[in-house]
Chain A
Amino acid sequence: MAREPRRTLTAADLARRAGLWLLVAAIVLYAVFPFYYAILTSLKSGSDLFKINYFPFKWEFGNYAAVFSGQPFGTNILNSLIVSFSVVALSLFLGVTAAFALARVQFRGRATLLVTILGVSMFPQVAVLSGMFQLVRALGQYNHLTSLVISYMIFTLPFTVWVLTTFMRDLPRELEEAAILDGASSWTIVRRVFLPLMWPALVTTGLLAFIAAWNELLFALTFTLTNDKRTVPVGIALMSGASAYELPWGNIMAASVIVTVPLVILVLVFQRRIVSGLTAGAVKG
């Protein structure tokens, strides 16, 4: 009586463990394989492109060279870097100052403001597209990178303000009391008291803003016109061959790998912070 159940239990345990590992393997394959296959394709050329393989059998970097000679891809990468870093710097600066006011000062209309800001973060980009286009024209920024830095504020700023506000609100009150009694100005309090404590939140929000700006397509497609002003997503979206049926898959995959590898490394390094940032943005919302 005592022996029988124990033996079936171990068998069930084994089956359960095998099942778990199978599931884990399936999840990893699901997540990693498409990008791995893109890397494989980017290393092939000529008729090899049309053969299926699971491991690299040759290491050819011809596609990587072709990406930079066929179109101003280097310039596109530089444009994306300029835009993304400017967006991060601007939204963090505006976000920290606004978050201080929203999190640390009691004033009338604060709750309404927070809800409005959350509402803006849900704006569909297309809903403001023609108005934004006219704004960009009016400011004389059409086909300039500035147009992207300005317009990207619509999705990075509300998110940044929101996450930084929730973070700042949880800091203890005693922190600034001494500084207030010493007669320090609000600006000094933000710089000297809060900023040193906020690095984790700044890294998270900055990273998420960077990824959002780096990946954006709609505004970049609409507000830039010439190849030398395009960002990476537009460059890759518009990459085409001699005809619609002859897409240069090798080049496209090489370009895709180039712009994604830095992101993947960033994400793997800052994994924990990103997950906590995403949950803070979503659950508190």
Chain B
Amino acid sequence: MRDTSWLAASRTRSAWLFLAPMLVILLLVAGWPLLRTIWLGFTDANTLRIDQAKWVGFENFLTRRDGHWYGALADPLWWRSVKNTLWFTVWTVAIETVLGFGIALVLNREFPGRALVRAAILIPWAIPTVVSARIWGWLLNDQYGFINHVLSGLGIIDHQIAWTADPRLLMTSVILVDVWKTTPFMALLILAALQMLPKECYEAALLDGIHPVKVFWRVTLPLVRPAVMVAVIFRAIDALRVFDVIYVLTGANEQSMTMSIYARQQLFEFNQAGYGSAVSTLLFFIIALTTIVLLIATRVRLGED
């Protein structure tokens, strides 16, 4: 008895010893930089002289001077970035989920060469985001791009569309490219969920002569919903911090400016470390809040089922 408790204590000690290196690294690369960023948001720090930061309170967030409001919360461009980010997130995740579901349902059928097709749809996922943005920049090129060539060949358009230059189309193009790259991830997660479903349900439904569409809505969808919800949350969190695809495809353009692009521009192009950090802090809390809301919302639904 004494012996086992001594053994357990020694095991707990060695557990902390084993955890220590990982914890130290995480504190160094996540804990400290996060706290530091939050603190810098309350200073007038310049990126080139970041150590000479002076405390300025909430000035970077919101302040009133000479009858005018200043700070991130009073900047229309910041709110534009927030709006763009939410727009991007809602559309990409929605399209990906529907498209991914469709692909997963097809790949869930038995057909020769299925393994090969499943491998092929991993290609967009494996391509670096920078590369996929570049490839699509070329495909969407207004004069020599493949997409315009095909669309005008089919008679759908009568003039060349400037996908990555026309302000009204920037968001659409960015959403399109992101959907292309991330749909496979969604499809594979949904496919994994589909393949875990009990076959008996379907055999019973088939014997009863229930229409496949009805089976999908009544049997398939409710059963895979928890797994799909998890995938949706993951993708939404990822979409809210989008940077690469937009930075490469359209640059720091007002029409496609997202929270991450805005924050980085303030930090390293305008050298406003204080203001940029304040914006980063806002971004962190917006994403944290969305995550918590999504987790609670889906858990409630899971509880109902």
Chain A residues engaging chain B, CB cutoff 8 angstroms:
20-21, 23-24, 27-28, 30-32, 34-35, 37-38, 41, 49-50, 52, 94-95, 97-98, 100-102, 105-107, 113, 117, 120, 122-135, 137, 150-151, 153-154, 157-158, 161, 180, 185-187, 190, 211, 214-215, 217-218, 222, 232-233, 236-237, 247, 249, 252-253, 256, 259-260, 263-264, 266-268, 271, 274-275, 278-279, 282-283, 285
Contact = CB atoms under 8 A, between A and B. Distances in A.
A268 B118 CA distance: 9
Interface of B is mostly: helix
A252 B23 CA distance: 40
Interface residues of B, number: 95
Contact of A134 (B23, B36, B118): B36
A135 B284 contact: no
Contacts of B193: 283
A216 to B, nearest CB: 9
A116 to B, nearest CB: 8
A151 B132 CA distance: 24
B85 to A, nearest CB: 11
A49 B144 contact: yes
Interface string B117-150: 1111111111111111011111101011010010
B121 A94 contact: no
Nearest to B181: A34
Given A94-B22, A180-B7, 12 more contacts: A27-B117, A38-B131, A125-B243, A126-B263, A129-B37, A130-B276, A135-B29, A137-B50, A154-B29, A157-B29, A217-B243, A236-B134
26 contacts: A20-B109, A23-B106, A27-B117, A28-B121, A34-B132, A38-B131, A50-B143, A95-B22, A107-B12, A123-B34, A124-B260, A127-B281, A127-B287, A129-B276, A130-B36, A134-B36, A157-B26, A180-B7, A190-B18, A215-B128, A217-B243, A218-B244, A247-B137, A249-B138, A253-B138, A271-B118
A231 B291 CA distance: 31
A190 B259 CA distance: 43
B240 interface: yes
Nearest to B285: A127
A107 B17 CA distance: 13
A282 B115 CA distance: 22
Given A122-B291, A283-B230, A186 B14 contact: yes
B217 interface: no
Interface stretch (B72-80, B86-94, B183-191): B183-191
Contacts of B115: 271
B22 A20 contact: no
Given A186-B14, A260-B128, A34 B234 contact: no
Contacts of A266: 126
B230 A256 contact: no
A102 B19 contact: yes
Nearest to B281: A127
Nearest to B105: A23
B92 to A, nearest CB: 16
A129 B267 contact: yes
A52 B149 contact: yes
Contacts of B37: 127-131
Contacts of B32: 131, 135
B234 A236 contact: no
B284 A124 contact: yes
Contacts of B280: 126-130
Contacts of B7: 180
B247 interface: yes
Given A20-B106, A34-B139, A127 B284 contact: yes
Given A94-B25, A180-B7, A50 B122 contact: no
A233 B30 contact: no
Interface string B161-180: 00000000000000000001
A217 B123 CA distance: 19
Given A94-B22, A237-B248, A24 B287 contact: no
Nearest to A117: B26
B33 interface: yes
Contacts of B260: 124-126, 218
Nearest to B245: A217
Contacts of B192: 275, 279, 283
A128 B34 contact: yes
B215 interface: no
A190 B231 CA distance: 32
Contacts of B26: 117, 120, 153-154, 157-158
B129 A215 contact: yes
A86 to B, nearest CB: 13
Contact of B259 (A49, A101, A126): A126
B40 interface: yes
